[in-house]
Structures are given as C-alpha cells and as structure tokens.
Amino acid sequence: MSGYLPGLEGVPATRSNISFIDGEKGILAYRGYPIEQLAEHSTFEETTLLLLDGQLPTAAALAEFDALLRRNRRVKFNIREMMKSLPTSGHPMELLQTAVASLGMFYPGNECLTGSTVCEDLDYIHRMTVKIIARIPVIVAMWQHIRQGYDPIAPRQDLTTAENFLYMLQGREPDPYHAKIMDTCLVLHAEHTINASTFAALVAGSTLASPYGVVASAIGTLSGPLHGGANEKVVDMLREIGSPENVPAWLDKQLKNKAKIWGFGHREYSVKDPRANILQKMMENLAEQPGSKVSSLFETALALEHAASDRLGAKGVYPNVDYYSGILYTEMGIPTDQFTPIFAISRAAGWLAHWREQLADNRIFRPTQVYSGEPVREYVAIEQRK
C-alpha cells in the first residue's frame, strides 16, 4: 500500500474481538453486549472482567476478581513521597503518567516479557492487570490531596472501585447516587475499539514493554485535548457561553470562524454517540434528585445541543461522550482537571484487554511512510557551503 491516509483513517491496524462500533446506527458493544445494557445492569468490576476474559463472569469469578482489586489498592510510601516532590501546578495527567510508569520500579514482575518469545502466562497477565487497575484510581485520588499540601486518604477494602475513589477524592462517605453515576461512567469509558490511546498501548505492547510502560504510553496519548482532554474543554466552553440565551450568537460566531465546538463530532459516529445519550439521561436524573441544585451548565448544554444539531446534524455532527461527562463530574464537585484522569481510570480496562490480546499474537508495529524529502545527495564540506 503506497497511499498516505492522514491519521491512518480507515486503515485496519489489528484484529480484535473486544469491542464493536456501528457508527451509522449508534451501536457500541463490549464483547457483543450493547453498552446500554452494561450501563444499566453491570458494574465497572464486572465490565472489566468481561473485557479481559471475553465472557460475563460467574458470581464466584467476579467475587474473586473484586476481592483482588480491593486487596491491591495500597501503594508503597515511596510512590507517595515521590508524588510529594512533584510540582503541584502540574496537570494530574502528567502526574498519573509519571506515577504509573514508576510502578514498575516498585512492583517488578516483568519476567514474562524478556527475550523474543511472546508471553503466554495468563496468570502473569492477570496479576499485572489487577495491580494496575486497582492502583490508578488510588493515585488519582492521592494527588488531589497531595497537591493541596495534605497527606492522602488511605483506601478502604469495603467499598467498590467507584465508591472508594470518591471517598479518597472527597474525604467523606460517597453519596450513593453519585457513586452509581461514577460506576456507570467508568463502564461507559472502559473501551472504544482502536482509538488513539489504545493504539499507543498496542504499539508499546508489541515491543514487549512492561504493562506499566504500556499504560503510561496510553495515558500520555489520552492527555491530549483531541482525545481524553476534550471533556475539560466542554466545561470551559459552556462557562464561556454563560447561559442558554447566549447560545445562538456564540454558535454563529464559532461556525463563522470555523472554530471547534468541543464535545461535538466523532470520527466513528454519524449519529449521536450512544454513551452521550446515557450520560444525558443520568444528568437529567441527577437534576431530579431531592435536594439537588444543578447549575446552568446543563441548561446551556441542552440549548447548545439543540441549536448545533439543527445546524450540524446533516453533516453527522452530534454530541459525543465528552459532552455530558464533564457536566456530570462538575455537578458532583470534581475538579475540572481531574476529568481526564477519571477517563484513564476507566480506559485502563480496555488498554489492558488489548495488551492481553496483542500478546496472544504479537508482531512489533513497524508502519512505513511516504517519503517527501530531498533525493539522495552528496555531503558538502562546511567551508564550501553558501
């Protein structure tokens, strides 16, 4: 193949049976199960095991996996002290990439990835996966306190992943409905075929890099505003608009200037992202909870979706998963710069499922290029150059 396709658009990079997208019909399925069913009936722990093993687990298998996650939440004090030495002004994604990359120094176990042979030890793969998935939410929550000058809150084993994360992040017993929202958000963000960060994980994994390096590579890729960082931009955008009545003039200006409307459009979907539908419904339910006081962000978001869909719907541009997730997190009191780390907490499940799949039939990635530089030429001595 000699043609050049920017962004490798439409170029198959691997074979996978982990997830499926039909962008014209708005379908997303993990291992064949529609995302709507998983969001309603499953949990992050069960969804993670589904992604890893390919089947819905038995009650006994799920209980064992959940117990392993809970027992592996603690991190060594060396990591905590390292985190304390980092600039508090740094973005949490930079901290997360640094901390995850360092885990391999404190929790070694890469013996399966030495030499040129492919690792077939499923126990090793499972063990390393548990260690990483269990500790990423802990690291994210620890940083929230460390960067404010406080010691982090210790994890608890009597809470689910979502509950423990909110407990460690906010320092109080999590609101049950907020915990349910967080759990569902983790399910929705856990996997999405070969996106940029998953591709980065595949490339790193193909070299037999450690799983810590694989996930750190994916985290760095996710940090970009065109990938995981878009949900932060959505909230900033809605705050800039200010109120629903400001939407028409603001949208006209953006379209005239051909400026980006954050949270709209997706390379895979020509209809509204199915995850956005679920998140919007959760936002509506949150607004109806007793004692809830929802800000104008949601009303502004609804007005912008309505106006933008009228103008852009014919082009297949609709809200994506980033559009409502940041609003939900804002209403739950979560800082804006923690939105993308939460994405990473969830997507680690998909990254490691693809890492496992990559190892089963590994070949190092080595794409070609279309060279557009100078032809072969003679070296010119410096005294002869003009």
Tens of pLDDT along the chain (386 residues) come to 457 888 888 788 899 999 999 999 999 999 999 999 999 999 999 999 999 999 999 999 999 999 999 999 999 999 999 999 999 999 999 999 999 999 988 876 666 665 555 566 778 888 889 999 999 999 999 999 999 999 999 999 999 999 999 999 999 999 999 999 999 999 999 999 999 999 999 999 999 888 999 999 999 999 988 888 888 899 999 999 999 999 999 999 999 999 999 989 888 898 999 999 999 999 989 888 877 777 789 999 999 999 998 888 888 899 999 899 989 999 999 999 999 999 999 999 999 999 999 988 888 999 888 889 999 999 999 999 98
* C-alpha to C-alpha distance for 48 and 5, rounded to whole angstroms: 33
Co-location of 300 and 323 in the same domain: yes
Co-location of 139 and 264 in the same domain: no
C-alpha 17: how far from chain center: 19
CATH number at residue 295: 1.10.230.10
Co-location of 118 and 246 in the same domain: no
* C-alpha to C-alpha distance for 315 and 170, rounded to whole angstroms: 41
135: closest CA among 57, 75, 204, 198? Answer: 75
Co-location of 147 and 85 in the same domain: yes
Does the residue 368 lie in any domain? no
Co-location of 148 and 234 in the same domain: no
Active site residue 189: no
* C-alpha to C-alpha distance for 234 and 228, rounded to whole angstroms: 11
91: closest CA among 342, 343, 341? Answer: 341
Q: Which residue has the tokens 């396709």?
A: 5
Does the residue 238 lie in any domain? yes
Q: Which domain holds residue 354?
A: 15-223+338-360
CA angle at residue 279 from 277 to 282, to 5 degrees?
110
Provide the domain count of the chain: 2
* C-alpha to C-alpha distance for 86 and 84, rounded to whole angstroms: 6
| Sequence-ordered list of residues with C-beta below 8 angstroms from that of 24, at least 6 positions apart, any chain | 270, 271
Co-location of 100 and 179 in the same domain: yes
Does the residue 80 lie in any domain? yes
Tens-place pLDDT, residues 27-46: 999 999 999 999 999 999 99
On whether the CB atoms of residues 79 and 103 are closer than 8 A, the answer is yes
Co-location of 321 and 212 in the same domain: no
On whether the CB atoms of residues 226 and 265 are closer than 8 A, the answer is no
**CA count, 13 A, side-chain hemisphere, 105:** 8
| Sequence-ordered list of residues with C-beta below 8 angstroms from that of 189, at least 6 positions apart, any chain | 275, 321, 325, 342, 343, 346, 347
Q: Could you tell me where the DSSP H helices lie in the chain?
A: 35-41, 44-53, 59-71, 77-84, 92-106, 122-146, 161-170, 176-188, 196-206, 211-222, 230-241, 247-256, 274-287, 296-312, 321-331, 339-360
Sign of CA pseudo-dihedral 127, 21, 221, 204 = positive
| Sequence-ordered list of residues with C-beta below 8 angstroms from that of 128, at least 6 positions apart, any chain | 109, 211
Does the residue 214 lie in any domain? yes
| Sequence-ordered list of residues with C-beta below 8 angstroms from that of 36, at least 6 positions apart, any chain | 274, 278
Co-location of 64 and 192 in the same domain: yes
| Sequence-ordered list of residues with C-beta below 8 angstroms from that of 158, at least 6 positions apart, any chain | none
**Which of the following is catalytic: 178, 189, 192, 266?**
266
Does the residue 160 lie in any domain? yes
Tens-place pLDDT, residues 143-177: 999 999 999 999 999 999 999 999 999 999 999 99
Element (H, E) at 356: helix 339-360
Last residue of a domain, one of 331, 348, 370: 331
On whether the CB atoms of residues 227 and 263 are closer than 8 A, the answer is no
Last residue of a domain, one of 331, 347, 368: 331
Does the residue 181 lie in any domain? yes
Tokens coding 290: 């007793």
* C-alpha to C-alpha distance for 192 and 35, rounded to whole angstroms: 10
Co-location of 174 and 86 in the same domain: yes
On whether the CB atoms of residues 279 and 185 are closer than 8 A, the answer is yes
Beta bridge partners of 320: none
Active site residue 192: no
Does the residue 21 lie in any domain? yes
Co-location of 269 and 348 in the same domain: no
CATH number at residue 92: 1.10.580.10
Co-location of 327 and 257 in the same domain: yes
Element (H, E) at 33: strand 33-34
Co-location of 122 and 24 in the same domain: yes
**Which of the following is catalytic: 322, 337, 354, 361?**
322
Q: Which pTM was predicted?
A: 0.92
Does the residue 201 lie in any domain? yes
* C-alpha to C-alpha distance for 340 and 342, rounded to whole angstroms: 5
